[in-house]
Amino acid sequence: MSRRRFLLGAGAASVVLVAGGTAVVVRDEGDGAAGDRSASTAAGASTAEVTRRDLVEQEELDGILGYGDTSQVSLGAAGTITALPALGSVIDRGRTVAEVDGFAVPLLFGDRPLWRQLDAGATDGVDIQELEANLVALGFATSDSLTVDQNWTSATTAAVKDWQESLGRDRTGVVAPGDAVVLSGAVRVSAHPTSVGSRSGGPVLEVTGTTRLVGIDLDATKQSLVSVDQAVEVVLPDDTTTTGKIASVGSVAQAGGDADGDGSPDAATIEVLVTLDDPDAGSSLDQAPVTVRVVTSVAQGVLAVPVSALLIQAGDGSSIVERVESDGTTSQVPVETGAFADGWVEVTGDLAEGDEVVVPE
């Protein structure tokens, strides 16, 4: 939260905005020098106690709550698409990506797509190891019965046949490139670029990750405000709040476009991703605007007064507060200001915890 002072006028008494719009009074020097006493507390004014507290300053950042970037999934199997998973559904290992000619095309996990026919005659390769790892993970073999390596064995053939039977396919022991889709992990279905009844060949699904994330396009000049694992607060569209952590901070700035259409480029940004501590928070929302509050500084155990208790001297811009003395009169006490937060301001000067100060109304 930046501190801002905007002088709105001059003369006998003007208003100043401090720390996000809180009003304080600017005193003309004719009101009296600091240290002078007035006869009594001004009529209509209230008082507040000088307290010792923690002041937490925050920066508010605009974000979008969703599931991250989308990607497209295509099939290697040729035929007619006879079924697709529902929008919003999650496809995990072994579950159906799409149905082609009535046969399920399942999802396997790995780094490489199936690019060749695999069977007992296949030469050693990392694709065999990837297939075997999936067969073990899906329960069609155990690590004792099938050694996960780059070599196809009779145990591999037996596991493949059991897998094929579970899919309603012939027990051939042969795996073709279109028999499965290989992705790095589970995905969530976000769109159907190709409809049921169409021929396969192009993208059949648009998918996202399964983890709910808040994406922030952060002004590159503010990169120092955030760091990985930093705790944040997320304000949802219904004004409820939830907590989260910064998962990643981009290191490469993206050049700004011309969103305003005025011919000048916007500021360069970096991508910041935030994960929610409660994955069910705002579970019905997707691509929803949210506010992320990031703590920028903490002043612990400092003396503080309400911001509205500050009086700014018009001549030199110095700050004072009016302290209520034991006899009911007030004295002007010069103060130095520090952190601003939640309508309070840190003050240093001839004040003590428990003193009463005037708060103009």
Q: Which of 38-42, 209-213, 284-288 has the highest mean pLDDT?
A: 209-213
Provide the pLDDT confidence category of residue 190 given band limits of 50, 70 and 90. very high
Q: What is the pLDDT of residue 288?
A: 92
Which structure tokens are listed for 341?
């937060």
Give the Cα separation of 174 and 150 in Å (integer). 16
Q: What is the pLDDT of residue 140?
A: 98
Give the Cα separation of 59 and 230 in Å (integer). 13
Which letter does DSSP use for residue 225 in this model? G
Provide the pLDDT confidence category of residue 361 given band limits of 50, 70 and 90. confident
First to last CA, the chain: 24
Q: Which of 133-137, 221-225, 276-280 has the highest mean pLDDT?
A: 133-137
Which letter does DSSP use for residue 31 in this model? G
pLDDT at 334 over 80: yes
Report the candidate in 320, 234, 273 with the shortest Cα–Cα distance to residue 68: 273
Q: What is the pLDDT of residue 252?
A: 84
Which structure tokens are listed for 121?
């005659």
Report the candidate in 310, 300, 297, 338 with the shortest Cα–Cα distance to residue 1: 297
Instruction: Write the CA distances from 101 to 10, 96, 147, 164, integer angstroms.
Output: 81, 13, 33, 16
| Better-scored residue on pLDDT, 148 or 67 | 148
Lowest-pLDDT choice from 33-47, 48-62, 177-191, 305-319: 33-47
pLDDT at 44 over 90: no
Q: Mean pLDDT, to the nearest integer, of 65-79?
A: 92
pLDDT at 257 over 90: no
Mean confidence (pLDDT) of the chain: 87
